[in-house]
Structure 1
Amino acid sequence: MSGKIVATRGMRDFLPTEKAWRERVLAVLRETYTSLGFMELETPALEPIGRLQSGQGGENEKMIFQVMRRGLAPQEAILPGDAADLGLRYDLTLPLTRYFATHQAELPNVFRAFQTGPVWRAERPQKGRFRQFNQVDIDILGESSFSAEVEILATAWSAVTKLGLDKDSTVLINDRRFLRDLMRAAGIDGDKQDSAFITLDKLEKIGQEAVIKELVTHEIASDSQAQSLVAAVASISAVDLQADTKTLEVSGLQTELPLYDLGEIAAQVGKICPDIKIKFTPTLVRGMGYYTGPIFEVSHTASGSSICGGGRYDGVVGRWLGRDVPAVGFSFGFERIVDLVSLPEVGENLKVALAYQKPQEALAALGLRQGLLQEGAQSAGLLKAPRKISAGFFAQAAELGYNRLLLPSKYLAVAAQECPDFAALLGEARVLEQ
């Protein structure tokens, strides 16, 4: 075998120190959400392929990692679409709605759910995009009033604040119903509206002229319709939402459109979170096809895209139950925030490595671990040393997350004592530079 051995393209390994940091960030989210009444659950990585391809995942349904059926004969002629019966989940929302449909009798009528875990999308890997990545979701199922949106946004902002991201973050909000009303007012037919959404979502990235050209080229709208739509969006982008903002005058289209509950949602969230910044964003679409009402994202000045987002998706659970269940969700793009997060320094935690070379040294070290932990060390692990201990070995120990190191010369005699002085032993440990 030749060449460098690396992880599968689009997937990553994490060194112990990286893993520890990721777990610390996740712990903040978990503590925040569970302390505010969200119950943690877990769902399988695999779902039936038909369920994943139910038409609610938008473009993500084209990126499902499919699992071939067991027992297929090697020489059997079979169409690719008939070869798979399972697929890896592409998000956590669809598995959650299936979970709710399965366990509804055992859950509260209004269920506040928290879920985290890896998801998979078979897309082309590039900077910031991976084939396996983690999501952290909260959802409220069973509450039809806009109090669910208020609670989701207030809870999410609490997490944003605890992660130290609040000063440079802004909540963008819109409503899918308003978008459809806007499209109708511009003369864009219902069967073309989803395509128009996708193009409109690019407005800030590619500019007005490019959006107009794409709408016309793809026969989504006529030139006059495209011109009117883009002009209308530009004219309402600076609207400041207030509690009494019920409608919006769209002068470019000579019409007045309802804003549904957006004004009240923004006002109520502002009361709960006085420092939050909320911006009405008429170009906000959100990619999933299942959103039915208010939608939101959180932008951060240091990120090229949103760091989290969600919205109302009232129709998804009904696919499994045969009756609609109101639902609102919010998801952190964990990979996007983990390098942006700033957490306060914590008091030094003693993480001790006991170096050994010979079997008897390892046995002696094993006998000391529990005493070191009881004396105050957060962790005490064994680390095999090379025959010649050099500065590189101490650097490796630090890279593995240890900040103290005990050589056999320091602990062998102590291990033989009937009542070892573990406090003194910790004092003998070599301090490692992090």
Structure 2
Amino acid sequence: MRDFLPADKARRERVLAVIRERYRAHGFDEIETPVVEEYARLHAGIGGDNEKLAFNVLKRGLDADAVRAAADDPAALSDLGLRYDLTVPLARFYASHRAELPSVFRSIQMAPVWRAERPQKGRYRQFVQCDIDIIGDATARAEAELLVASLDTLDALGLEGGSIRINDRRALDWMLDSFGFTAEERPGVLITIDKLDKIGVDGVVAELAERGAAPAAVDTFRSFMMRPQTLEYRPYGEGQIRKALPVGAPDDIVAHLVAIGEAVAAARPAADLPGEIPLVFDPFLVRGMGYYTGTIFELAHPSVAYSLGGGGRYDGMIGRFLGQDVPAVGFSIGFERIVDLLSGGEDAAASAVVLVHDRDVPVDELVALKAAFISEGYRVRLEQRTKNVKALLEHAAADDYRSFVTVSAGQTRADLDIKPLS
């Protein structure tokens, strides 16, 4: 968990403001949920490995004997926990407020979450998530809206050229079944296949064998991966999707994926090259969350090797709270990763000025001058002149101020010249 100095905090808020503005422009409405949820809900088997990282809240009023008696049962010790993502709270929120919401609900959540991660570079125990979700729409329109909004947001942040890898868990399950992997061994197989980019085909084959996967299925998988392929380029569409899957892929799944691409292409004719779609079908994209039931996606950018966000369809989650299934799909932008990629926000800093004043300038004059600069659109800080003015200005520059004015008693706004700090 981290503290943020003023310049860092300002930069984070600028990024959040852009994300919020673009998502709202696409018709999403922001909600807020509590930072804590019931223990049973957070540990209902829908949060994957994140459930193991939840910070639990000890029940109030337990004496030492009660704690000792329940030492081996976390559920007996805790009744609440800090949220580890924003999807589980959204499912509970929708189940609680469905009657007050539109039939198709488009939500924004931008808030901190907590996970008991092992501290290391890039892994935080408190971090911000920026989620958009569409609940109540089972069609490809929902995925297309999410992807278009997310690509538009990335562009607005100055990170043009992003693309999205897309797959469907139903297609992945069908493919593993066609290879001969049983339903029982599939979770372990998925964990290994998810490492394909890191350890390659031979590494995956070796690990599958170590896991004790069916040898015939492993051989079939290897043969498929080593099959001869032509090198011609195929843009996202039915041809690319069917080429990447074994023969006989279910028509309804392929049609859903194709429809998403057509909608994204129609929405971004000016942003991408003619005939191009910023989508890439990846039949071995897994994503770790166990609640995904259909499409899954990850946001990529050529400047980095890691993903900048992702999401998927989770049609079964809300039904656990509501008693009936409701289609749902969501996308989360990797806020912490994106903030690290962006510069300090020169446009905002350009309108920030420090008024360096002599000790004898009357307070009413200072406040009047400050108000005058603010009315012109400046962000203003008052600083009394010190012996080491250079250090004072360097500190202001570190806080994203880019100009300064020296003020003496009796001066008016017309008397003052704005000078750059560097």
> TM-score w.r.t. structure 2 length?
0.87
> In 2, distance between residues paired with 1:289 and 1:384?
58
Report the counterpart of residue 379 of structure 1 in structure 2.
379
Mark the CA change 1:298 to 1:124 in structure 2 (over 3 Å): closer, same or farther. same
Q: How does 1:401-416 map to 2 (within 5 A)?
A: 401-407=400-406, 410-414=407-411
Report the counterpart of residue 7 of structure 1 in structure 2.
none
Post-superposition offset of 1:116: 0.6
Write the deviation string for residues 326-381 of structure 1: whole angstroms up to 9, x where unpaired.
1111110111112324799648743233446969866753454323212x142223
| SS of alignment partner, residue 14 of structure 1 | coil
> TM-score w.r.t. structure 1 length?
0.85
Q: Indicate if the aligned counterparts of 2:357 and 2:408 stay in contact, CA closer than 8 A.
A: no
Aligned AA (2:300): S
2:421 corresponds to which of 421, 426, 432: 432
Post-superposition offset of 1:68: 1.4
Report the counterpart of residue 150 of structure 2 in structure 1.
156
| Greater displacement, 141-150 / 183-192 | 183-192
Report the counterpart of residue 400 of structure 1 in structure 2.
399
| SS of alignment partner, residue 388 of structure 2 | coil
Write the deviation string for residues 67-89 of structure 1: whole angstroms up to 9, x where unpaired.
21222224541325022222111
> In 2, distance between residues paired with 1:250 and 1:233?
10
Mark the CA change 1:226 to 1:343 in structure 2 (over 3 Å): closer, same or farther. farther
> In 2, distance between residues paired with 1:113 and 1:228?
43
Mark the CA change 1:60 to 1:392 in structure 2 (over 3 Å): closer, same or farther. same
Post-superposition offset of 1:389: 2.5
Match status 1:33 vs 2:26:
no
Could you list the runs of 5+ residues in structure 2 that have no partner in the other structure?
A: none
Q: Indicate if the aligned counterparts of 1:32 and 1:158 stay in contact, CA closer than 8 A.
A: yes
Q: Indicate if the aligned counterparts of 1:201 and 1:284 stay in contact, CA closer than 8 A.
A: yes
Post-superposition offset of 1:64: 0.7
Match status 1:391 vs 2:384:
no
> In 2, distance between residues paired with 1:344 and 1:182?
46
| SS of alignment partner, residue 190 of structure 1 | coil
Match status 1:198 vs 2:184:
no
> In 2, distance between residues paired with 1:52 and 1:42?
17
Write the deviation string for residues 33-90 of structure 1: whole angstroms up to 9, x where unpaired.
1011111111111111111111111111111111212222245413250222221111
> In 1, distance between residues paired with 2:228 and 2:291?
25
> In 2, distance between residues paired with 1:47 and 1:358?
53
Mark the CA change 1:164 to 1:402 in structure 2 (over 3 Å): closer, same or farther. closer
Report the counterpart of residue 422 of structure 1 in structure 2.
413
Mark the CA change 1:398 to 1:248 in structure 2 (over 3 Å): closer, same or farther. closer
Mark the CA change 1:250 to 1:32 in structure 2 (over 3 Å): closer, same or farther. closer
Could you list the runs of 5+ residues in structure 1 that have no partner in the other structure?
A: 1-10, 415-420
Post-superposition offset of 1:21: 1.8
> In 1, distance between residues paired with 2:123 and 2:379?
34
1:93 corresponds to which of 87, 98, 110: 87
Mark the CA change 1:135 to 1:230 in structure 2 (over 3 Å): closer, same or farther. farther
| SS of alignment partner, residue 107 of structure 2 | strand
Report the counterpart of residue 216 of structure 2 in structure 1.
224
Mark the CA change 1:67 to 1:349 in structure 2 (over 3 Å): closer, same or farther. same
Post-superposition offset of 1:99: 1.2
What is the number of equivalent residue pairs in this alignment? 406
> In 2, distance between residues paired with 1:44 and 1:314?
23
> In 2, distance between residues paired with 1:92 and 1:65?
15
Mark the CA change 1:17 to 1:347 in structure 2 (over 3 Å): closer, same or farther. closer
| SS of alignment partner, residue 341 of structure 2 | coil
Post-superposition offset of 1:297: 0.8
| SS of alignment partner, residue 118 of structure 1 | strand
Report the counterpart of residue 187 of structure 1 in structure 2.
180
Q: Indicate if the aligned counterparts of 2:234 and 2:240 stay in contact, CA closer than 8 A.
A: no
| SS of alignment partner, residue 185 of structure 2 | helix
Post-superposition offset of 1:224: 2.8
Mark the CA change 1:241 to 1:301 in structure 2 (over 3 Å): closer, same or farther. closer
| SS of alignment partner, residue 13 of structure 1 | coil
Match status 1:266 vs 2:265:
no
Post-superposition offset of 1:390: 3.6
Instruction: Name the Cα RMSD after superposition.
Output: 2.7
Report the counterpart of residue 8 of structure 1 in structure 2.
none
Write the deviation string for residues 210-253 of structure 1: whole angstroms up to 9, x where unpaired.
2112222122x1233123224425659987542588866855xx
Report the counterpart of residue 290 of structure 1 in structure 2.
291
Mark the CA change 1:348 to 1:92 in structure 2 (over 3 Å): closer, same or farther. closer
Write the deviation string for residues 179-231 of structure 1: whole angstroms up to 9, x where unpaired.
11111112212122122111111001111122112222122x12331232244
Q: Indicate if the aligned counterparts of 1:233 and 1:282 stay in contact, CA closer than 8 A.
A: no
Post-superposition offset of 1:403: 2.5
Q: Indicate if the aligned counterparts of 2:361 and 2:408 stay in contact, CA closer than 8 A.
A: no
Q: Indicate if the aligned counterparts of 1:172 and 1:278 stay in contact, CA closer than 8 A.
A: yes
